[in-house]
Amino acid sequence: VFVLDPAAETGGASRWWLHHSLAALAADFAARGGRLVLRRGDAAAIIPALAKESGAVAVHAGRAHEPWLREADRRVAAALQDAGIGFHRHRSALMFGPERITTKTGGVYGVYTPFSRACFEAFAPRPPIAAPGRIAAAGDPGSESLADWGLLPTQPDWAGGLRASWTPGEAGARARLDAFLANGFGAYDRQRDLPGIAGTSGLSPHLHWGEIAIDAVWREAAAAAGREAARQTFLKELIWREFAAYLLWHTPDLATRPMKAQFANMAWRESAADLAAWQRGRTGVPIVDAGMRQLWQTGWMHNRVRMIVASFLVKHLLLPWQAGERWFHDCLVDADAASNAASWQWVAGSGADAAPYFRIFNPVLQGRKFDPDGAYVRRFVPELANLPDKYVHAPWEAPEIVLRGAGIRLGARYPNPIVGLAEGRERALAAFAAISGTAP
């Protein structure tokens, strides 16, 4: 059973993924003689009624961790109890229930490294359970039509890049994991920061939508052939995901309120024009524009580039991190509420174990370091494809004759930077110093 809450704030890319993920799940059930029942509305009313309709004596569900889903779970549990029907929650999305991991004194971890050590010491992935060959259908409860839910974009249909990039569903998740373990896993620690190559697993949306279990990913990565440095780096990244969920569990307003109180006094700028330029990938800073265009075209962005574009928004442009969090939530197919909010707070300096406010990524240096041949920029910013490597991350440094030879007129075909990098850095340092109590 899947119940869609019409009031849920689901981004456009997530709605696209949800449609295809449910379609794949329904097909898997049908192949085993079962049926996926779809309903829209209040789960606290729908689930008890459906349980009675089908003669069920108990309801089993994956355990929710997001604050709004936890509240929905509580309401469902109360309604089922009133109806005399059992309700059993099971760990599914995470390695642990977030309340299980505490410091030695019973407190909450605020720093990743000791949290990571605790996870490594305590986590034992569950053995795999084979999928049933047949699923017995319980009666014939009515189901809504997935097509009638209107999850897919139609006018216009902007999802072509998503279709070309992803295969939602368990089969797509399994194919991604197998390909990663066979090819990129052994060099993960060396290649994960290089956006121009396929150096990461690409599993984040599949994990977010529950199409593959975290236990399976951990178990198979731990057993796979490869360098130990690569293995440990990958497993630690899985724990970063766990840490974000842990923070959201203990900080329900993580997506809106800074964890560090002084950031509530931050003098953020207001500029609809700058925000729109950032969203559209028209900032005039190539690595930033490449990342934002990758996000729009594919519903995903390389993690290194996520840090670069986020730092540019909150520091060089001095725009509030919440605006970036909301845009990512709408555009990402892996729009995980915990990871998204925790990552934005980390970059802004307001979150747990956050980067210090004076750490301001220079997007040109970041581009030259992690995309040295410009392959990533050229893929997503084709206007710059003919520039020499020397200038592809800073076209404003190119002589006019080089720009003409590459077919570029700055300010026309490709924009000039919307902020000077040195100017933006100094403005950010002054603003952040003001709330930290230090001199600029």
Tens digit of each residue's pLDDT (9 = 90 or more) over 372-382: 999 999 999 99
Model pTM score: 0.95
Q: What is the mean pLDDT of the chain?
A: 95
Distance CA 233, CA 46 (A): 43
Active site residue 240: yes
pLDDT tens digits, residue range 57-103? 999 999 988 999 999 999 999 999 999 999 999 998 999 888 889 99
pLDDT mean over 175-204: 97
CATH of domain 101-127+171-250: 1.25.40.80
The CATH fold assigned to 261-436 is DNA Cyclobutane Dipyrimidine Photolyase, subunit A; domain 3 (1.10.579)
Determine which one of 68, 149, 158, 240 is catalytic: 240
Determine which one of 209, 344, 346, 383 is catalytic: 344
Determine which one of 166, 296, 321, 346 is catalytic: 321
Give the strand pairing for 38-40 and 86-90: unpaired
Determine which one of 220, 268, 386, 396 is catalytic: 268
pLDDT tens digits, residue range 324-370? 999 999 999 999 999 999 999 999 999 988 778 888 999 999 999 99
Please tell us whether the domain made up of 2-89 is placed in CATH 3.40.50.300: no
pLDDT tens digits, residue range 293-325? 999 999 999 999 999 999 999 999 999 999 999
Determine which one of 53, 144, 220, 237 is catalytic: 237
Active site residue 321: yes
Active site residue 344: yes
pLDDT at 181: 97
Active site residue 237: yes
Determine which one of 303, 362, 386, 396 is catalytic: 303
The ranges assigned to domains in the chain are 2-89, 101-127+171-250, 261-436
